[in-house]
Amino acid sequence: MTAMQWFFSFLKKYRIRLITALFLVTIVSGLATVNPYVSGLIVDNVIKGGERKLLPLLVAIVCGTTLLRSVLKYIYLYLFETSSQRMLYSMRDCVYRRLLEQDFNFYNKNRTGDLMSRETGDMDAIRHFVAYVIYAIYENSLLFILAVIMIFTVDVKLALCMIAVLPLTVLTTAKQLKAIKPTFHNIRQHFSSLNTFVQENVSGNRVVKAFAKEDFEIEKFQKENDGYRDAELAATNMWKKYVPIFELLANLSTVILYLVGGIMVVNGTISLGKLVTVSGYRWMLNNPLRMAGWLANDYQRFITSVEKIYSTINVEPGIKDPAHPYKKHKLKGDIEFLHVDYSADDDVILHDINFKVKAGQTVGIIGATGSGKSTLMNLLCRFYDVTRGEIKIDGIDLRQYDLYNLRDNIGMAMQDVFLFSDTIEGNIAYGKPAATLEEVKTAAYIANADDFIKELPDGYDTIVGERGMGLSGGQKQRISLARALLKDPSIVILDDTTSAVDMETESHIQNALKNIGHKRTVFLIAHRISSIKDADLILVVGDGQILESGTHEELLKKNGYYSTVFHHQYGEFDQIQKDRQKGGLRYGTK
């Protein structure tokens, strides 16, 4: 499917409305020929011919057609406007759904600002085309043709002289269309870039302030702003070259009319009334000539936007449902990684990963930063597909599952916590909107978040800012943990979820997790040994491979990476235990 076919697939739904509207445009344009014709009759028959009794009838015709044209114009404008809004509604919806279907790779490669421009500025160019440009092109072409026909009926020689400028107009329009195309691509590019810049700076404004980089950002913004202005000006400059040509051609036909027509009246070849009639058709001839450039501009803007939107969404998601997806309402949670490799852009990120977990077990994952821990979990959620080997859940390859079904069975608290600007209750219940407040509170209690939430001014109804602004890092992590648990999933993934909470809170969370354990398979990614030491299986990941695996005791005996890390952290861990026994130091939990 081409970009234009894609556009027409939306327009098709409104074809009856649009055809009706175009039919009304035809009538209105046809009626436009009446008044100049009647004006000629008034001059020749009433003023010069003295047939006074004809006057009321002719005036009534002029008034009647004017009124009818206004009413019909109102109706067709309404039809075009409503069709454009309705069509845009479904187009926006389709683009948004398509964006949601895309995988992580798509979002890694596309900038948020660009995607937002597709849904806003580009959509508006399309709306303008449907609401205005379609009928304007049709109406102007029709008026021009009707004017030519009418002038021909008056006098062939005069008509031929007047349309002598037509080939020149067609040529200029074609030239302008070709010349302006790259400038519109450039405008869209700069608009997206400006959008991305503003979006990133607004969301990252705390970093800008923390580093006192306002001046630097203003300077960068000015460059973006300059780029966008220059792109718009380049299009205007291009356009400026063509405006005088269109004006000249339009005025030339007027000059020809009065020159040639005047001579003909003087010579008696045509009557004065006929010249008045032709003069009345002059605007029908000039207006399209004048509008040709503007409409070519709008048309090119529209084409660019359709192409931009279509090229953004016409990307097949890398992660798709299989042809015959396997659905199982509730997964058990047996998991097996078999010779799993994952490479991205020729970089081997994970290599030959093998491990097996039984449903209800807890797996601790530890390893240096950048070693591939999060990637391992991303593969389990099918955010990316393995490049070799397979991952099985309950004995079935991950790629055979219905994607929605699979992810619905996984509760994930991601390393990079994202909260929506909503209430705390809304954020926790995100994965299960029908959850009762009691269920939300239970999940929050397990995540050790209930205490601090209750102390907030509006409790569970407190609205958190964008990305959870207004909450501490540890508070956000606990809300994200509660959100993962509330879904009651078979598999829970906690990626560094307790890294920002103090050890005392972490131990509360772990005790609570133990109580709900056995029902679900839990993956705990952590840097602190204290977070994972009780796990049934601990995987030590290093450089994309599993370096060691086993229980805490087994790994300590191996005297490898795990044991080294344990001894490094042990002092801290031992101190906490001692403090606890003394009943002394308590860490705050808010």
**Contact residues for ligand ATP (CB under 6 A)?**
108, 344-345, 347, 349, 367, 369-375, 415
* Nearest approach, Cβ of residue 451 and ligand ATP (Å): 28
Q: Which is nearer to Mg ion, 406 or 494 (CB)?
A: 494
* Nearest approach, Cβ of residue 516 and ligand ATP (Å): 25
Q: Look at residue 520 and give the partner it binds from ligand ATP, Mg ion, none, a contact being a CB closer than 5 to 8 Å depending on partner kind.
A: none
Q: Look at residue 372 and give the partner it binds from Mg ion, ligand ATP, none, a contact being a CB closer than 5 to 8 Å depending on partner kind.
A: ligand ATP
Q: Is 415 in the site for Mg ion (CB under 5 A)?
A: yes
Q: Which is nearer to Mg ion, 151 or 365 (CB)?
A: 365
**Interacting stretch for Mg ion, rule CB under 5 A, among 48-56, 242-250, 274-282, 370-378?**
370-378
Which of 436, 337, 318 lies closest to 380 in space, CA to CA? Answer: 337
Q: What angle do CA 247, 249, 254 make, to 5 degrees?
A: 95
* Nearest approach, Cβ of residue 370 and Mg ion (Å): 8
* Nearest approach, Cβ of residue 350 and ligand ATP (Å): 8
What does the DSSP assignment read for 420-482?
Answer: -SSBHHHHHGGG-TT--HHHHHHHHHHTT-HHHHHHSTTGGGPBP-GGGTTS-HHHHHHHHHH
The pair phi, psi for residue 550, each rounded to 5°, is 150, -170
Cβ atoms of 524 and 514 within 8 Å: the answer is no
Six-digit token string for 299: 């048309």
Six-digit token string for 84: 């454009």
Cβ atoms of 251 and 213 within 8 Å: the answer is no
CA distances, 429 to each of 121, 439, 463 (Å) = 34, 9, 14
Inter-helix orientation angle 34-41/134-154, to 10°: 30
* Nearest approach, Cβ of residue 368 and ligand ATP (Å): 7
Q: Which is nearer to ligand ATP, 254 or 387 (CB)?
A: 387
Q: Look at residue 345 and give the partner it binds from ligand ATP, Mg ion, none, a contact being a CB closer than 5 to 8 Å depending on partner kind.
A: ligand ATP
Q: Which is nearer to ligand ATP, 247 or 385 (CB)?
A: 385
Q: Look at residue 474 and give the partner it binds from ligand ATP, Mg ion, none, a contact being a CB closer than 5 to 8 Å depending on partner kind.
A: none
Q: Is 374 in the site for Mg ion (CB under 5 A)?
A: yes
- Count of helices and strands (H, E) across the chain: 23, 10
Q: Look at residue 316 and give the partner it binds from ligand ATP, Mg ion, none, a contact being a CB closer than 5 to 8 Å depending on partner kind.
A: none
* Nearest approach, Cβ of residue 417 and Mg ion (Å): 12
Q: Which is nearer to Mg ion, 49 or 370 (CB)?
A: 370
Q: Which is nearer to ligand ATP, 349 or 363 (CB)?
A: 349
Q: Which is nearer to ligand ATP, 385 or 579 (CB)?
A: 385
Q: Which is nearer to ligand ATP, 345 or 553 (CB)?
A: 345
Residue 283, phi-psi category: left (phi > 0), alpha (psi -120 to 50), beta (remainder): alpha
Residue 305, number of CB atoms within 10 A of its CB: 25
Task: Spell out the residues 6+ positions from residue 282 whose beta carbon is closer than 8 angstroms to its own.
Answer: 147, 253, 254, 257
H/E segment holding residue 489: none
* Nearest approach, Cβ of residue 108 and ligand ATP (Å): 6
* Nearest approach, Cβ of residue 485 and Mg ion (Å): 20
Q: Look at residue 369 and give the partner it binds from Mg ion, ligand ATP, none, a contact being a CB closer than 5 to 8 Å depending on partner kind.
A: ligand ATP
Which residues lie near Mg ion (CB under 5 A)?
Answer: 374, 415
